[in-house]
Amino acid sequence: MSPAMSLVAETDRENELPESQYQKGVRHLCEKGIEKVPTKYILPLPERPNLSYKSANDININANSSSYNLNLPIIDFSQLQGSNRYHVLNSLAKACEEYGFFQLVNHGIPNQVISDMFHVAKRFFELPFEERSKHMSTDMRSPAVLESLGLLETRKGAESENGNCGLEEFEDGSQLIVMNCYPSCPEPELTLGMAPHSDYGFLTLLLQDQQVKGLQIQHGGNWIFSNGRYKSVLHRVLANSTPRISVASLHSLPFSSVIRPAPKLVNGANPSRYKATDFASFLDYISSCEPRQKNFLESRKVT
């Protein structure tokens, strides 16, 4: 679409809704039967997904690979306990360093549990707005928080008394389950399902819709805990004319922990590249309007 044509598309929007309707979330807007993407969600041209041409920096992640898709490293979880452990651990480290993403197979989670999870998420999002909105809260410590897009269920472990950044701290760490609902979008080429962001924390396990694709990752971004060795990669989700649900389980240290590069990875030759940070700073950052590319880690870089 040429810039002139896009200008016409952006100014020719009828039936814009009152601001109060937007605060009720995108799913609510879609339930109202919108036929065009409201102006406030239309992205400037350079930030829109180019659905016919994928930039070399964008990598689509989905179950059935197409010509644009990168072959993601595959980690066989069942082999982690066997004689192949050393090899699998090496592949895991390489995947985290090179891509910041991998596909986990033979994880042992029963198919029934996975389909129940999707079923529960779907049932929740199908509830009337009045029911869903009972869970609306900005307090991340409440057991369930409804944001405009998804439902977060938070579980906070006991605080660790150990101040170092060893893996044992994760045993008492925090888990956040995010159920994302991407309703059918009338004009997927004008917007995104989820803006570019990097996840906070140690590891995100993502359960994706097998039928509807949308997740894209970009090369770049660094993860604070590893002092830049393992990446918390920038990723985004395309809008789609078919509704999509995903469930992300974010595993991290206790919410109150201060996170900094692991002392073992910092020395004279490799000085700390990131400022210490905590979960509250992350929440402040992602709820701020700028910048659009929400790479929290970049914002914590020592300049």
Ligand X SMILES: O=C(O)CCC(=O)C(=O)O
Residue closer to ligand X (CB basis): 160 or 208: 208
Distance, CA of 216 to CA of 76 (rounded, Å): 22
| CB hemisphere CA count around 128 (13 angstroms) | 2
Residues contacting residue 272 through CB under 8 Å, at least 6 positions apart: 227, 260, 261, 266, 302
Burial of 60 (0-12, 13-18, 19+ CB in 10 A): middle
Distance, CA of 78 to CA of 81 (rounded, Å): 7
Diameter of the chain measured on Cα atoms: 63
The site string for Fe ion over 168-207 (x = CB under 5 A, - otherwise) reads -------------------------------x--------
Closest approach of ligand X to the CB of residue 54, in Å: 16
Residue closer to Fe ion (CB basis): 160 or 279: 279
| Only segment of 5-13, 104-112, 208-216, 295-303 that touches ligand X (CB under 6 A) | 208-216
Distance, CA of 116 to CA of 162 (rounded, Å): 37
Q: Where are the alpha helices (DSSP H) in 129-180?
A: 129-132
Measured from the Cβ of residue 176, the count of other Cβ atoms closer than 10 Å reads: 22
Structure tokens at 201: 């924390």
Residue 145, interface with ligand X (CB under 6 A)? no
Residue 165, interface with ligand X (CB under 6 A)? no
For ligand X, the binding residue among 178, 190, 212, 224 (CB under 6 A) is: 178
Residue 203, interface with ligand X (CB under 6 A)? no
Closest approach of ligand X to the CB of residue 60, in Å: 11
Q: Which does 88 bind (CB under 5 to 8 A by kind): ligand X, Fe ion, none?
A: none
For ligand X, the binding residue among 237, 239, 253, 259 (CB under 6 A) is: 237
Residue 58, interface with Fe ion (CB under 5 A)? no
E strand segments, 132-279: 144-146, 150-156, 174-182, 192-197, 203-207, 215-218, 235-238, 244-252
Residues contacting residue 188 through CB under 8 Å, at least 6 positions apart: 49, 51, 238, 239, 240, 241
Q: Which does 246 bind (CB under 5 to 8 A by kind): ligand X, Fe ion, none?
A: ligand X
Distance, CA of 138 to CA of 146 (rounded, Å): 8
Q: What share of the chain is helix, strand, coil (3-state, %, to 5)?
A: 30, 20, 50
Position closest to ligand X via CB? 246
Residue 149, interface with ligand X (CB under 6 A)? no
Residue 215, interface with ligand X (CB under 6 A)? yes
Residue closer to Fe ion (CB basis): 88 or 140: 140
Q: Which does 227 bind (CB under 5 to 8 A by kind): Fe ion, ligand X, none?
A: none
User: Which residues here bind ligand X, judged by CB under 6 A?
Assistant: 178, 180, 194, 199, 206, 208, 214-215, 235, 237, 246, 248
- Interface ranges with Fe ion (CB under 5 A): 199
